[in-house]
Structure 1
Amino acid sequence: MNPKTSDKVATGVIWTFVAIVVLILLFLLGYILGTGLPDVSLHFLSSQAEAFKAGGGIRDQLFNSLYLLILTLIISFPIALGSGIYLSEFLKDNWFTQVLRTTIEILSSLPSIVVGLFGYLFFVIKFKMGFSILAGALALTFFNLPLLTRNIEDSLRDVPQLQREAGASLGLSEWKTIKGIVLPAALPGILTGVILSAGRVFGEAAALIYTAGQSAPAVDYGNWNPFSATSFLNWNRPAETLAVHIWKVNTEAVVPDASIISSASSAVLIVVILLFNFGARALGRFLYKKLTAAN
């Protein structure tokens, strides 16, 4: 087989696999959205779920998922950013670096149930946090840190060395070069890591069952004091997320219309993830153009 024919065959095989993956994704999205969206209504999104009663909504679960995501990113992103910068820009390749990277990879491969049990024993019991949003966010940080750290490190390493040399030739310090040149150039890759970690937070259930809890007590959405027990911003309250709610409804059948709520909740979860992804990418493109003066 001549090189041109081999190239065409290889290209065709690659495009075939790509098409299969896209078709599987479209089938899953179409099935979930087609099954669940007809049952989604304003009442469903704005009302509270009630055990043993039909017609409940997912207002609290949807807010808890978004709130937990924000808290998790606030905790994990600065740590991951500092670690990624240190690994990429300051740490030399040696045995310590290899051990550190191996540790990060091992942490990223831990099963979610193991992390959930660790969070339960360490945060809920040892530190007496109880089932709370904060305990859930700290547990999910163990998921986010490896993924975010490696993604940020790889994004920084992908920035051409020429840009660092250009900063040095202008008399900029190493930190100013990283802050003003390297980080803006690596922003699209860093944003991809944030989106991937956010999707994992939205879809996580096992770890949150043992840390954030399976109940969604009524809260006052007019109370903006995060230290008040009834405030919706109180991070010390138990909080059932949307993914945990879907699992609970399917396994325990606490409501008569469990299948309808499960399908509609799954559709809402998919839509929220898609909106977050598109919104984050649009914001990333805007910031990238703003910081790099790119057209």
Structure 2
Amino acid sequence: MKNATAAAGAFRTKRSLNLINNRLFTAFVWGVSAAIVLFILALLYLILQKGLPSLTWDFILGLPSEIEEGGGIGPALFNSFYMLAISLLIAVPLGMAAGIYLAEFAPDNKLIGFVRICVEGLASVPSIIFGLFGIALFVEMFQIGLTIVGGAISLAFLNLPVMTRVTEESIRAVPQELKQASFALGATHLQTIRRVLIPTAISGLVTGICLIAGRAFGESAVIILTAGVTTSGEMWDFNLLSPGETLAVHLWYVQSEAIVPDAVAISDKAAAVLVFVILLFNIVFRIPLWIKERRSK
């Protein structure tokens, strides 16, 4: 009887201790999460409050100035969107195709395992390495100089491993029951991928596209080495062989090399535009997902 009572008391004591530890750990996790969120919000506020209030359309669409104050970011902003669109047109289809192949068709052997290791390694390679590769390919081999097409394709190379890994993991995360049910209804493998796997994994795929879009839009090292630090001087220049300074590169140039009197004001406003556009990407890409979720409820 005494042994049973002692055991029950020890169990209650241990349970109470576990509850206390669980609450302490939960409080710690919430505290760390709240601190990170507050830090991010404070950083965004610090960047946006310096630049957004003084933004004007003349600055957003105006031509940059090398000497006089009052220059804009029009050509650099246009080049950012232009090169982003070209890089996404290359990286997204190829990355999704490679990820679907690795998830659905690739055999489980050492060669494919080595390929996955290589893809993961490329996804973590510093961007300047892809910039050096772009110089070797477009500047030295093809002799086309620092151009928009060279920068856009180099950005696509930079984001291709990331899109491949995100696609593979998103497809693998789809429950096998959905796939087997599709086969049981007579669907082919291609129909199952198109109508079951991709729609189910769309949230992960959109997240991957948001990641590579934000990375490409804010990238500077690759652009400096493959597209240059100047623009053609025209606002809407679609020539792929023109120099391709982007907004991120223009921000770096103004902060480090420019001699204009209002360099600090230009950098503050350019940084605000850069952050605002990247945040806008995440919202725009996720609107269809939010609409889909609301309709499915």
TM-score by length of 1: 0.92
Identify the residue that residue 212 of structure 2 maps to in structure 1.
Answer: 197
**Structure 1 residue 254 displacement after superposition:** 3.1
SS of residue matched to 2:132: helix
- Given the alignment, which residue of 96, 106, 129 partners 1:114? 129
Identify the residue that residue 57 of structure 2 maps to in structure 1.
Answer: 42
SS of residue matched to 2:285: helix
**Structure 1 residue 280 displacement after superposition:** 0.7
Q: 1:175-201 CA deviation, whole Å, 9 max, x = no partner? A: 111111110010010000000111111
In 2, the alpha carbon distance for the partners of 1:20 and 1:65 equals 33
Identify the residue that residue 153 of structure 2 maps to in structure 1.
Answer: 138
- Given the alignment, which residue of 270, 293, 296 partners 1:294? 296
Contact 2:120 2:161 in 1 (8 A): yes
**Residue identity in the other structure for 2:87:** T
**Structure 1 residue 289 displacement after superposition:** 5.8
Contact 1:107 1:142 in 2 (8 A): no
In 2, the alpha carbon distance for the partners of 1:285 and 1:149 equals 24
TM-score by length of 2: 0.91
Contact 2:74 2:235 in 1 (8 A): no
Report 1:20-35 matches (<5 A). 20-35=35-50
Contact 1:83 1:149 in 2 (8 A): yes
Q: Which runs of 5+ in 1 are unaligned?
A: 222-231
Identify the residue that residue 282 of structure 1 maps to in structure 2.
Answer: 287
Q: 1:197-230 CA deviation, whole Å, 9 max, x = no partner? A: 1111111101110111111112363xxxxxxxxx
Identify the residue that residue 229 of structure 1 maps to in structure 2.
Answer: none
In 1, the alpha carbon distance for the partners of 2:39 and 2:163 equals 27
Report 1:66-215 matches (<5 A). 66-215=81-230
SS of residue matched to 1:275: helix
**Structure 1 residue 118 displacement after superposition:** 1.5
**Residue identity in the other structure for 1:167:** S
In 2, the alpha carbon distance for the partners of 1:20 and 1:252 equals 36
**Structure 1 residue 114 displacement after superposition:** 1.9
Is residue 5 of structure 1 aligned with residue 24 of structure 2? no
In 1, the alpha carbon distance for the partners of 2:130 and 2:37 equals 32
In 2, the alpha carbon distance for the partners of 1:27 and 1:206 equals 26
SS of residue matched to 1:84: helix
Kindly tell me the number of residue pairs found equivalent between the two proteins: 282
**Residue identity in the other structure for 1:96:** L
Q: Which has the higher helix share?
A: 2
Contact 1:123 1:129 in 2 (8 A): yes
Report 1:263-274 matches (<5 A). 263-274=268-279
Q: CA RMSD in A?
A: 1.6
**Residue identity in the other structure for 1:200:** R
In 1, the alpha carbon distance for the partners of 2:256 and 2:95 equals 35
Q: 1:39-84 CA deviation, whole Å, 9 max, x = no partner? A: 2111111211011110001111111111111100001111101101
Higher-Rg structure is: 2
In 2, the alpha carbon distance for the partners of 1:28 and 1:220 equals 31
- Given the alignment, which residue of 3, 6, 14 partners 2:29? 14
In 1, the alpha carbon distance for the partners of 2:127 and 2:209 equals 19
In 2, the alpha carbon distance for the partners of 1:183 and 1:104 equals 21
Contact 2:66 2:258 in 1 (8 A): no
**Structure 1 residue 6 displacement after superposition:** 2.0
In 2, the alpha carbon distance for the partners of 1:196 and 1:89 equals 23
**Residue identity in the other structure for 2:40:** L
